[in-house]
Amino acid sequence: MYIIAGSTGTLGSAITEELSKTEDIFIIGRDEDKLKAQANKYNCNYQVLDLLSTPEPREYSKVIDSDVEIKGLVNCIGSILIKPLHGTSLEEFNDVITTNLFSSYFLLASFARRMKDGSAIFFSSVAGSKGLSNHEAISAAKAGIEGFARSAAATYAKDNLRVNVIAPSIMDSNMSQKILSSDTAREVSKNMHPISKIGDTDDILPVIKWLLSPDAKWVTGQTIHVDGGLSTVKPR
Ligand SMILES: NC(=O)c1ccc[n+]([C@@H]2O[C@H](COP(=O)([O-])OP(=O)(O)OC[C@H]3O[C@@H](n4cnc5c(N)ncnc54)[C@H](OP(=O)(O)O)[C@@H]3O)[C@@H](O)[C@H]2O)c1
């Protein structure tokens, strides 16, 4: 069984569709109507998750029967906030941390002990390692995810549970619709990448599938940057 959290988002929908072709999946999200529609389409079970009112992780793990082997967990729950620090309210800052970092803690804390020989994947972003202006809240959350995943990779290595992070740059998705709403913004976004392109799910899906597969059996504690080189490369 593979758990996909945030299955109703752009990346979540793509990995849900892909994995459901060959694997049993279990989907988690906040919107019951959308989850129900997906569960019908892909013939799978679902669970609503309210990040502001969660049970103890040990309790939550019971949403999947105890005899089911959990092979993978992909957390696609996330958000973006681009605002200068002094204009970021307490509520906005907390919301970004809850959606991105707390969701990652909560899901892995719930299922890690049941994921012997499994693979867990979390999402950072280019802002997790590169200082981009007006990204303080999301940068804190995503850098937190990278550290959290490295430590969890060490903790659960004895169970052969691999924990990795994918850090994309801007991709076409529900989340980036506003940012990429004009042709000018698209052009600027495209051109800031050494490999001049806006990302899409096709750039990320193969990396998710690889990290979930036995081909990546010796890869753990890593942050894999799928970002057209933005985080590390400066062409002449
Ligand atoms: N798109 C980009 O440019 C980009 C760049 C770098 C990193 N990322 C990361 O990639 C991951 C996937 O993002 P995406 O592009 O697929 O974005 P997306 O389409 O907006 O998906 C985000 C998912 O998170 C869920 N979500 C948001 N707030 C939530 C909350 N409070 N409680 C529960 N679920 C919540 C959404 O639920 P609903 O479907 O109900 O809205 C949706 O399923 C995220 O971690 C994101 O930070 C994205």
Q: Ligand 1 mean position to 17 CA, how many Å?
A: 16
Q: Is residue 230 part of a domain?
A: no
pLDDT for the residue numbered 137: 98
Q: Is residue 233 part of a domain?
A: no
Q: Is residue 235 part of a domain?
A: no
Q: Is residue 234 part of a domain?
A: no
Alpha helices in the chain (DSSP H): 10-20, 32-42, 57-60, 90-96, 103-111, 136-155, 183-191, 201-212
pLDDT tens for 192-222 read 999 999 999 999 999 999 999 999 999 999 9
User: 30: domain range?
Assistant: 2-225
Tell me how many domains the chain contains: 1
For the domain that residue 112 is a member of, what is the CATH number? 3.40.50.720
pLDDT tens for 64-79 read 999 999 999 999 999 9
Q: Ligand 1 mean position to 109 CA, how many Å?
A: 20
Model confidence, pTM: 0.98
Q: Ligand 1 mean position to 191 CA, how many Å?
A: 24
Q: What whole-number distance in Å separates Cα of residue 130 and Cα of residue 12?
A: 25
Quick check: 7 and 42 in contact, CB under 8 A?
A: no
pLDDT tens for 87-103 read 999 999 999 999 999 99
